[in-house]
Structure 1
Amino acid sequence: MTLTTRLTTLAGVRHPIMLAPMGGSAGGALAAAVSRAGGLGMLGAADGNRAWLDREVPIVAAGTDRPWGIGFLTWMLDVAAVQRALEHRPRAVMLSFGDPAPFTDLVRQAGALLIIQVTDLEEARHAVDLGADVIVAQGTEAGGHGARRGRSTLPFVPVVVDLAAPVPVLAAGGIADGRGVAAALALGAAGAVIGTRFQATSEALVDPAIAKAIVDGRGEDTERSRLLDIARGSSWPERYTARTLGHPYLDRWRGRETELDAGARQEYQDDVARGAIPPLPVWAGEAVDLIDDLPSAEDLVPALAAQAEQALHRAGRTT
C-alpha cells in the first residue's frame, strides 16, 4: 500500500512526510536525503542568510533530483532574502512564526508551493485568506519554538483541517515514528512534518553531543520556556516559547525570567565560551522518547512510511 495524499500529489513526493525546516540543522545534506527517500526535504534557512544559502542550496540541488523546499522564520525575514532563495527554484517555501503576507505573492509568482505554518486558529484563518497551498498545524508538543498559548496536536489538527478545507493540512508536533504519521492521517491531515526525529540522523547539521542528547532524552525532560531565549540574547518575539531538553540555566532561573539582566546574559555567553554549557539549547519535542538511534535520513523516511502503513492496517482490522 502506498500512502497517497494531497501532499504527495501537490509536491510530487512518494511519502506524506515532510522534514521540518529547522533553522541551521536542516541543511542541504539532510534535505537531499529526505527528498531522495521520497519525502519533502526542507532547508531550514531561518532569516535567509546569504552565506548559509550559498553553501547549503548547492548541496541539496546536487544531492537530489526530487522536489525540495526552503523554510523561513517570517518574523526575522525580509523580501530580498525570499527573492534570493526563489532564484534556486525550490518546489516549496514554508513561512513560520510571523505575518507571511509580505512574502506570499513572491512565492506564488515563482511557482513554488506556499506552505504556511500556524499555531492557533487566528493564524489558520489568515493562512486560508492568503491562499496557502498547504497549512502546517503545529501543536505544542513540537520541539523548538511554538506558540506560548498554543494547543496540543491531537485536538488542534482536526480543527484546522475542518477550518481550512479543501486546503490540505499537515500535522506537526510530537511525531517521531510511523504511528505518529498514521495518527496525523487519521486526524484528516495530508501528512506529517517531523523535526526532532530528523535531528538525530547522520545527515543533520548538529553537534554530535546534541544528537546524543536527543537519543538519550525523555519526553518528561522537555520544557517550554522563553528563559533560554532571554538568557542567550535572542530576539524571538514574546509570543513564542521554545521546547528544549533540560538546561542548567532553566534550573537556575526558572520562574525568575525578569531577573535575567545584562550581567546574567553575559554570564551565559561566558559559560558558552568556556564550554560549561552547549552553544545552543537542545531543541526537542515530547516524542523524543521514541528516538533511540542515529540512522541515515534516507533510510528513515521509508521506514516511517512502512510503519505508518502497518499502523493504519492494524487500526482498520475488525477482529
Structure 2
Amino acid sequence: MTLSTAFTEMFAVQHPIASAPMGGSAGGALAAAVSRGGGLGLVGGGLGDREWVAREAALAAATAGASWGIGFISWSVDLGTVELALEHQPVAVMFSFGDPSAFTARVRESGASLILQVTDLEEARRAVDLGADVIVAQGTESGGHGARQGRSTLPFVPLVADLAGPVPVLAAGGIGDGRGVAAALALGAAGALVGTRFQATAESLAAPVVTRALVDGHGQDTERGNLLDVARGSAWPAHYTARTLGHPYLDRWRGREAELAADADALRAYADGVASGELPPVPVWAGEGVDLIDDLPSASDLVPVLAEQAESALTHALRNR
C-alpha cells in the first residue's frame, strides 16, 4: 500500500507526514532530516528572531535535498522576517495562532504554498476565505500552544475536512506513531502534522534534559494552561494555552495565575531559578501522545517508520472489516 494523498502530490513527498514548526527545537537540521526521510520538514520560526530564522532556513535549504518549509506564529512575526525566510525558497510557509492576513499575499506571490493552522471552526472558515493551500486542524491533545477552548483531534479533524472541501487538511494533536497517522487519514485528513514525536529525535535542538523528559513522560502528566507563560513573562495571548509536562511552578501556583501575575517576588524567584539552573529555561512542551516515545532516532529514519506503521494499521483494519 502506498499512502498517496493530495498532500503528498502537492509537495512531491513520499509520505503524508509533516513535522511541526516547533520554535526552539525544529531547526534546519530537523526539517531537512524529515524531508530527506520522505516527509515535509518545517523549520520553526518561533517568535520571529531574524538571525535564527536566517541561519536555520539557510541550513534547511542547503541540506534538505527535497521540499521543506517554515512556520511562524502570526501574532508575533513581522513581514520583514517572512520576507527573509522567503529568500531561501521554502516550498511552504505556515502560520499559526492569530490573524495571518498580513502575510498571505506575499507568500502567494513567492510561489510558496500557504499552510494555515486552525484551532476552531471560526479559524477554519477564515483559513478557507484566505485561500489556504493546506489547513492544519490542531486538536487540544497537542503539545505546546493551542486553543484554550479547542476541540480534541478525533471530532475536530472531520469537521475541518468537511468545511475545507478540496483543500487538503493535516491532522495535529496527540499523534505519536503511525497508527495516529492512519487515524488521521481515516478521519478525512490528507496527512498528519507531528510535533512532540519529532522533538524527541537526534536532529532536534531541544536540550538533552528535555528529550530525556519526553522519553520518560506520560500523557496523564501533561496539562494545558497559561500559568507557565505568566511565570516567565511570555507575551502569549491568554486564549492560547500550552500543554506541558510537570513543572515546580505548576504544583506551587496551579489555579492562582492572577495571583502569580501580581506577585513580583514570585516572578523574580522564577527568573532567579532559571538563571541558577534550578528551573528549566523553558517548559517541556509535550502532547498527550508522549507515552509512545521511547527512543531518540534520526528524524530521517523515523518518517518511513511512521509511514510503514500507518500502512500496516490501515491494511490490518481493511482485513478485519
Please state how far the C-alpha of 1:161 moved relative to its aligned partner: 0.3
Superposed CA RMSD in Å reads 0.8
The answer to whether the 8 Å contact 2:54/2:84 transfers is: no
CA distance, structure 2, for counterparts of residue 56 and residue 258 of structure 1: 37
**Stretches of 4+ moved more than 4 A in 1?**
none
Q: Which amino acid aligns with 2:38?
A: G
Please state how far the C-alpha of 1:277 moved relative to its aligned partner: 1.0
Aligned equivalent of 2:309, options 297, 307, 310: 307
CA distance, structure 1, for counterparts of residue 59 and residue 81 of structure 2: 19
Deviates more, 1:40-49 or 1:113-122: 40-49
Alpha-carbon displacement from aligned partner over 1:113-166 (angstroms, at most 9, x marks no partner): 000000000000000000000000000000000000000000000000001111
Alpha-carbon displacement from aligned partner over 1:254-286 (angstroms, at most 9, x marks no partner): 011111122211110100111111111000000
Alpha-carbon displacement from aligned partner over 1:26-74 (angstroms, at most 9, x marks no partner): 0011000000010000000113321102221222122122000000000
Aligned equivalent of 1:293, options 292, 295, 298: 295
Stretches of structure 2 lacking an aligned partner (at least 5 in a row): none
Indicate the residue corresponding to 1:144 in structure 2: 144
Alpha-carbon displacement from aligned partner over 1:161-185 (angstroms, at most 9, x marks no partner): 0011111110000001000000000
Deviates more, 1:206-215 or 1:61-70: 61-70
Alpha-carbon displacement from aligned partner over 1:288-307 (angstroms, at most 9, x marks no partner): 00000111101100000000
Stretches of structure 1 lacking an aligned partner (at least 5 in a row): none
Q: Which amino acid aligns with 1:267?
A: A
CA distance, structure 2, for counterparts of residue 226 and residue 170 of structure 1: 26
Deviates more, 1:80-89 or 1:204-213: 80-89
Q: Which amino acid aligns with 2:308?
A: A
Aligned length, in residue pairs: 319
Q: Give SS of 1:213's match.
A: helix
CA distance, structure 2, for counterparts of residue 245 and residue 96 of structure 1: 22
Q: Say yes or no: does 1:13 pair with 2:3.
A: no
The answer to whether the 8 Å contact 1:47/1:81 transfers is: no
Indicate the residue corresponding to 2:278 in structure 1: 276
In the superposition, the TM-score normalised over structure 1's length comes to: 0.99
CA distance, structure 2, for counterparts of residue 106 and residue 120 of structure 1: 25
Alpha-carbon displacement from aligned partner over 1:207-246 (angstroms, at most 9, x marks no partner): 0000000000000000001000000000000110000000
CA distance, structure 2, for counterparts of residue 317 and residue 193 of structure 1: 27
Q: Which amino acid aligns with 1:114?
A: L
CA distance, structure 1, for counterparts of residue 255 and residue 64 of structure 2: 47
Indicate the residue corresponding to 1:27 in structure 2: 27
Alpha-carbon displacement from aligned partner over 1:73-131 (angstroms, at most 9, x marks no partner): 00101111111111111000000000011110011000000000000000000000000
In the superposition, the TM-score normalised over structure 2's length comes to: 0.98
The answer to whether the 8 Å contact 2:176/2:289 transfers is: yes
CA distance, structure 2, for counterparts of residue 266 and residue 179 of structure 1: 44
The answer to whether the 8 Å contact 1:48/1:85 transfers is: no
Indicate the residue corresponding to 1:118 in structure 2: 118
Deviates more, 1:58-67 or 1:122-131: 58-67
Indicate the residue corresponding to 2:61 in structure 1: 61
Q: Give SS of 1:75's match.
A: coil
Q: Which amino acid aligns with 1:22?
A: M
Q: Say yes or no: does 1:108 pair with 2:95.
A: no
CA distance, structure 2, for counterparts of residue 158 and residue 143 of structure 1: 21
CA distance, structure 1, for counterparts of residue 169 and residue 64 of structure 2: 25
Q: Give SS of 1:146's match.
A: strand
